[in-house]
Structure formats: C-alpha cells, structure tokens
Structure 1
Amino acid sequence: MSNNTITPVQALELSSLITPTEQGIASRVLAKTTGGNLTLFAFDKGQGLSEHSAPFDAIVMVIEGELTLTIDGQPVTAKPGTIVRMPANIPHAVEAPQAAKMLLVMLREITLNHN
C-alpha cells in the first residue's frame, strides 16, 4: 500500500503544501504506507483536536506558530523547530493558541512473518 501526494525527487517547502482554513483545521496526507502516515496540518487560532488516543506512536513537528499538546494530562508547548513524541495508547489533544502548522508522523508497528 502506498499513497503519496507529494512530488518525488524534489525539495518542497512544507509550509506551502497546505492552505489554512479560516476558523478551522486543514489537513493533507503527504504519504501513506503500511509503516505509517505523514500528514500536514494547519490550525487557525483557537482550533485544535479533541482528546483521543491511537494504537501507535505519533511524532509532531511544529513548522509555524505554537501548539499546546496535552499528553496524558500533561501540557507541552511546542514551537517551530521542536519535535514531540506522543506514545501509543495514551490520550492526547492539540490546541492552537495562535495560527500554526505541524507535520504529524504516525508510526505503525509492522510484524514480519518468517517461515
């Protein structure tokens, strides 16, 4: 399974790959494989993702703005250039106190069958 929406063999500016939505959240899947997904998000000020959990680790990299990630009840402030790991099966939420863009990497466990 492979679903990639970005042009191969080309340097692309992350920020230009998504258009923010006024008073909303925009997302764009940049790559999707059996090993995980790469998704770009743009949050307008005051927007966010409600608390949820996932069965695999997720990595957040902030590109612009600032985000408050609440992971297992603990708030973490993430600014451009920072990276935060959200562990599998742990509740987490995202809030944007200002307009922000983030890259989300979902890492799936892959089980290999050896005969």
Structure 2
Amino acid sequence: MDNEHNGGKQEFAELEKSKSHIIVEIIEYMANAVVIKTIIRKSTGNISIMSFDSGEGLTEKTSPFDTFAQIIEGKAEIVIDRVSHNLESGQGIIIPAHAPNFIQPNGRFKMILTIIKSGYE
C-alpha cells in the first residue's frame, strides 16, 4: 500500500485496522517534498501523518475546523495569526478554526494532523 506522493498530494487509503503501527515509521522523508499519508479519513474528520524535507513547508491557509498538530520527529515552526510557535518532538498545538496559519521551513520533521469536523464554528 503506497500512499506517498510529493507536492502535498495523497491517496485516501487508511492504515490497516487492528494492527499496531510505529507512528514515526509510517512515513518516510522524500527529497524536496512534503509527503502526506492518511491514517483515518471519515466524513466527520481525519488524521494524517506528514513528513517535511529540509526547506519544505506549507503555504498560508485557513480551515473551518480546529486542527491539532503534533510533532513526532524533529522541530517545526507553525505560524498562527502571524504569531510564531516553535514546537519540538512530543509537542502539539491546536490551530483554531478560521485562523490563518502556515508551516515555516525549519529542517526535516514529521507531524500528525487531526481534524474533527464537529460542524462549522
């Protein structure tokens, strides 16, 4: 099951259920790319794991839902409403719904993004 694509693209196959996974090993780094792999995708929300090669980030965006970002390897700079937050492995942050945010390139890192679609807020 190969779900890895660069450019922020992904397939929506979920991870195998009822099987233990080493989260940080689910996804690998790809040169000059952001790789996204779906862990769970439902109409009520999704969980994805992402890897960022050095120099790679995400452009500014907003979401109608709160998003929980958790760093699982390396360090990341997440900018929310023009305020920079430096996170290290094991740390997480809630990105509020409708808040402009982006990920500033800051070396290689991996993170999990969780979005719960409880309704428009």
State TM-score, norm by structure 1: 0.88
Query: Please, which of 88, 92, 95 is the counterpart of residue 101 of structure 2?
Result: 92
> Partner residue of 2:117?
108
Amino acid at match of 1:8: K
Alignment partner of 1:29 out of 29, 32, 38:
38
Question: 1:40 matched to which residue of 2?
Answer: 49
Moved over 3 A (4+): none
* Structure (1 or 2) with the larger CA radius of gyration: 1
- Residues 23, 47 of structure 1: 8 Å contact kept: yes
Output the CA distance in 2 between the equivalents of 1:82 and 1:59: 11
Amino acid at match of 1:11: S
Give the CA deviation at 1:77: 0.5
Give me the identity figure in percent: 22
Aligned length: 109
Q: In the alignment, what sits opposite 1:52?
A: 61
CA distance in 2, matches of 1:8, 1:25: 25
Q: Of residues 29, 40, 48 in structure 2, which corresponds to 1:20?
A: 29
Amino acid at match of 1:44: D
Write the distance in 2 (CA, Å) between the matches of 1:48 and 1:14. Answer: 21
Structure 2 residue runs of 5 or longer lacking an equivalent are: 1-11
CA RMSD across the alignment: 1.5
Which amino acid in 2 is paired with 1:47? E
